[in-house]
Amino acid sequence: MDKKKIFLVEDDQFIVRAYKDSLERASFEVEVALDGVEAMEKLQNITPNLILLDIIMPLKNGFEVLSELKSDDRLKNVPVIILSNLGQDSDIKKGKELGAVDYMVKANYSMQEVIDKIRQYLA
């Protein structure tokens, strides 16, 4: 069985390491981009099974990345879970309107809960 590929877009190196390690231990293949511009460049060459997307990033924020993803025929059906520290209702609403399947505030979920959520969307 092929490993599912998770594309993690996150500018915080500490969070990247923590998520990458945990996701790999959970048998996912993990590709990382540290900002929105790098994310869009890498996505020209890969089609992940699911994208974990931060909102607050340098160069291009998560909302901009999400808009671009949804206008790309090859990527528009890839589920995107926003994983952010922004927990305002307006941000959550915007993320969902732009096409995210879910919006998780980092502080409110354990790593295991995030992994369970990923599995739910890949099932």
- Write the pLDDT tens digit of every residue in 8-52: 999 999 999 999 999 999 999 999 999 999 999 999 999 999 999
Report, in angstroms and rounded to the nearest whole number, the Rg of the chain calculated over CA atoms.
Answer: 13
User: What tokens were used for 82?
Assistant: 């926003």
Domains identified in the chain and CATH numbers? 5-122 (3.40.50.2300)
Amino acid at 46: I
**pLDDT digit string, tens, across residues 86-117:** 999 999 999 999 999 999 999 999 999 999 99
Q: What angle do CA 112, 9, 11 make, to 5 degrees?
A: 100
